[in-house]
Structure 1
């Protein structure tokens, strides 16, 4: 087993960080480009946002299948195959000339993008000692945040300089470098033991997890928070590129540096979990999301940025806690329980734009915030229900 020291640990962990960076950079590269895509193809804001949401949708659905498939066929080979698939589809996007083809390619890309997130932790579980696994997972998740920021910066700066096609080509070149390093650095699986692939087992595990009230509430909390949070960013790009702000794409892309407060929120959630119950932390995170959304209504650029910093902190405080709580409360098939959480998470992201668009069309950003708070209020109720449901077994045990 790989210990949390030495070159083998660091080359394997670095490979997974690089792969994670590549995946999430490709997921989010289109977000600062949305106004540019809308103008270039003469389409609506909702249609432009679909270039992002279709990717998160196919990514979310595919997560359910890669884990069991890797149990049968192995870890490294599937991760490499999917990362090469991501690189090829990104390269193809640079040459697309019609919006329907852009959507098709982004949908296919989402299928490939799911490979590494679904398998990476399972690979580490096979090869790393428990202590090394805990260290490596924390470092690996940091690659998610850096990839999200990096992809948006590439999209914003290169897109403004040379247009969306150039942004996709640069992203493809970055991806090629990343997948080459990944292939070279990641050690071969030494402890992998194949298990038969059974669709019936997947369906049985899904049914098991959905019948667990605690898990179902966590899935809904994570899914509906991301449903709003990530799509707020899509619409705020249109706000900031219009008067009176008139920011260019590269400056709008800098807005995604607010994600750094999410890193703080994720770390803070672990410390808070030792002080107050985790469902209460989810309540706190959702309250911060409501406050941050209201702050953006003040209208100045500085208050919009402040509101987004608050939103990122609140969202990742809630998300990291919900994800951890799923793992803690899954009685069996923990990997599939976590995968199902991510399915709700990414499918939520892919649907939120359709919900917010009528608010945007009717009254602009202020109505987007109103629609957001309506959903966040429902999530807040779900967190309170989760607190009640989570206490019941403890109360019943104490009474006996």
Structure 2
């Protein structure tokens, strides 16, 4: 396949403020073994330019296993045991982070996650709070699958799907997937000379999945199908996905100018609508927070967060991260539902108190809100 010119015509990128950039192993692995800065440099320059322009970028980076191979100076045998792959990942995490740090004049923070961290609501909230704090500190979070302890997760293309979940976790506007192919084609362009570029995908139907091939390189673990799965997950959260060739310096440079040479996957609905839909449909836990009329008005009419000062009491035995009802104490009516930052026992202790007193009362603080407005929907 010729690379004289980009195979995908330029498209203008929509405006975005926060994005997740997923970088595959094939872009970071050296031609022999270990890691190479060849393509990472261009991608890091793109990230730096976006941060300088006032945007925020979280990186989801593969490459730990490849880096581990480089340390041992050997290739694993076919059908290598999971334990050895996990050992290679453990060896490779430090050089992977070191690779990224060399390109930035700001701190790079390593964050290791498993899908269990993101399925469990309490760990989900902790992960989100940590990532938000890192962005507030002007650090560059570099996330990878915690391959060393995961069991089922170290499978085909997991970091593609992990990137989509992280994009929803941090309320990103966009998911950029950097790979070693120009975009999504009607067939595998390495095998089919007549494969046609697909620039814009409104909705991922079974026909698109049928076009997706298997893994394209021997270094990474994912193929085009996992890219589509990631785009579908992001779309469900109201996030657009942009697939592009991270090995092409001209394509990466064009991104910095607001132009995509690749494939755009559109969400079915906007980000806020998708989140509100999720909040309305997550199963409720047994329990509720009772609030006064002033707090009820602030939540219902002004879209405010729920602060401890407006809380009268809590019912049930819910835990931090549970979806619960918010009721007005005077009439018992449910006015909203949301994800509580604190357990029922903590809420009872914090009732009628000021946010600044939370840490003094509990000995710790998960933030000034009992329920943040982004985790709350009015009924």
Q: TM-score range by the shorter chain?
A: under 0.3
Larger Rg: 2
Higher strand proportion: 2
Give me the TM-score of the superposition, normalised by structure 2.
Answer: 0.27
Higher relative contact order (CA 8 A, sep 6+): 1
Give me the TM-score of the superposition, normalised by structure 1.
Answer: 0.26
Higher helix proportion: 1
